[in-house]
Amino acid sequence: MLVGKGGDYVTAKASAEETAGSYTVYEVLSSPGFGPPLHRHAWQECFYVLEGEFDFSFVEGGELRTVRAIPGTCFTIPAGAPHGFRNALAEGSRMLVIDQPVGVERMFDVHGVEVEAPGAEPAQEPLDPSRLAEILPRYGIELVEPRRLRGAERAARRALGCVVRRPARRARPRRGRSDVERRAMARIDEIVDGIYRIATPIEIPGGAFTFNQFLIDDERPALIHTGMHGLYDGVRDAVGEVLDPARLAYVTLLHFEADECGGMDRFLEAAPDSTLACSALSVDLNLSGWDYRGRVEGHRDGEVIDLGRRKLRFLETPHVHHWDSMMLFEETTRSLFPSDLFIQPGDQPPVVSEDLGSEMCAFYREMGIFAHEMPVREVVDRVESLDPAWVHGMHGGSLRREAVPGYVRALRDEPFAFDGKLLGRSLDGDG
């Protein structure tokens, strides 16, 4: 049936009658530009985009956000949470809408007009969309003024927590960029609820290699390592697919090196209220003698940054690559951010389940990034006792708990320390 002139074609896939009133499933084909204004209701709702693109509005942390939803995106809207959507394309866009318990069906029954197939002309005159504001409240759908979200209502909204899951999306290269920048395309994928991996594959001697940053979308969003200075545009654009980079509250670096913090000045410029959070040693050894002008916090082992839902605990791991090296452990998802430990060479997918432990050790020997095995193996014991559900390395893909033992075994049993080679170049015979 068609709901609203130039509006949504709605096909019941599971009606209230068929589910004894417990839920409904609709396939919706929205006409270009059509969609309901911001509203809320007492039932919960889930939207899954099948085809085309929608601009989807919802409330997060007391603020109204609009994101572009592509096929595979799923929005879970709790009961009472304001939301709205609009077909963003000049052609039809399709999605599945699941209401639980039954909600909007009564309104469709009364105001929808039958059509032969989605997109077909209706026999009767459909509802004029200008009457929606008058009609919707009769069916338990309250329209919400965006400005009413501010002020006193903010705190109440904060508790609602809409969930958005977005499929892998590869950022498109933009015209007018240099070859290097065009090659440096960042992709962003949500790995765990609200934790995104931003990955840029770069050719290095021996093949492709990914440089990853991690974005934690929270009340106080954090970016874990910035990437090199030259990657800034790609990384910032990837962050911008999830949230406004000006909202970043923390930029963290786990040791002082270009792929950890080369973009720190530029992220600071875009988010003037952000804080650079790193190890106490990174501050004492490096930042205090640099010309960095932003706010800096140096952390010691066990200190925690509270992002809202997520809690980032610092682990001091000296000489696991650098004097000032740290790792981060996100306590609520049990996610470890080990920086350069658990590397996998190659252009890896967002999640890796393969055991590339031996390849990792061979890569470390080739690059010469660890002076000695001993401090690394002590940290490996510590990582094992932490029992992380996820390991999000800076190079390669994220590892689920079940993939970690293969890498732990390799780090315990195989040599990986400096063996006379630096970035693949043998020092034998030098000097």
For residues 389 to 408, the per-residue mask of contacts with Fe ion, x marking binding by CB under 5 A and - elsewhere, is -----x--------------
Helix/strand/coil percentages in the chain, nearest 5: 25, 30, 45
Residues that bind Fe ion (rule: CB under 5 A) add up to a total of: 4
In Å, how far are 264, 307, 339, 386 from 275, measured between CA atoms?
Answer: 10, 12, 19, 27
257 binds Fe ion (CB under 5 A): yes
Rank residues 2 and 376 by Cβ distance to Fe ion and give the closer one.
376
Rank residues 57 and 213 by Cβ distance to Fe ion and give the closer one.
213
What is the Cα gyration radius of the chain? Answer: 25
Rank residues 255 and 310 by Cβ distance to Fe ion and give the closer one.
255
Q: Is the dihedral of CA 16, 20, 21, 25 positive or negative?
A: negative
* Smallest separation (angstroms) from Fe ion to the CB of 323: 12
In Å, how far are 166, 203, 418 from 371, measured between CA atoms?
Answer: 40, 25, 5
Q: Which of 259, 316, 324, 373 binds Fe ion (CB under 5 A)?
A: 259
* Smallest separation (angstroms) from Fe ion to the CB of 415: 20
CA pair distance 101, 107, nearest whole angstrom: 15
For residues 322 to 361, the per-residue mask of contacts with Fe ion, x marking binding by CB under 5 A and - elsewhere, is ------------------x---------------------
In Å, how far are 23, 178, 315, 320, 410 from 172, measured between CA atoms?
Answer: 38, 14, 36, 35, 37
Residues 6 or more apart from 64 whose CB is under 8 A from it? 38, 57, 58, 82, 146, 149
Rank residues 335 and 339 by Cβ distance to Fe ion and give the closer one.
339
Rank residues 231 and 394 by Cβ distance to Fe ion and give the closer one.
394
190 binds Fe ion (CB under 5 A): no
* Smallest separation (angstroms) from Fe ion to the CB of 339: 6
* Smallest separation (angstroms) from Fe ion to the CB of 347: 15
* Smallest separation (angstroms) from Fe ion to the CB of 340: 4
CA pair distance 156, 334, nearest whole angstrom: 28
Rank residues 81 and 343 by Cβ distance to Fe ion and give the closer one.
343
DSSP element (H, E) containing 261: helix 258-261
Question: Number of C-alpha atoms within 13 angstroms, CB side, residue 227?
Answer: 30
Q: Which two tokens stand for residue 327?
A: 């790792």
Residues 6 or more apart from 153 whose CB is under 8 A from it? 62
Residue ranges in 124-143 that form contacts with Fe ion under rule CB under 5 A: none
Rank residues 75 and 256 by Cβ distance to Fe ion and give the closer one.
256
For residues 203 to 242, the per-residue mask of contacts with Fe ion, x marking binding by CB under 5 A and - elsewhere, is ----------------------------------------
Residues in touch with Fe ion (CB under 5 A): 257, 259, 340, 394
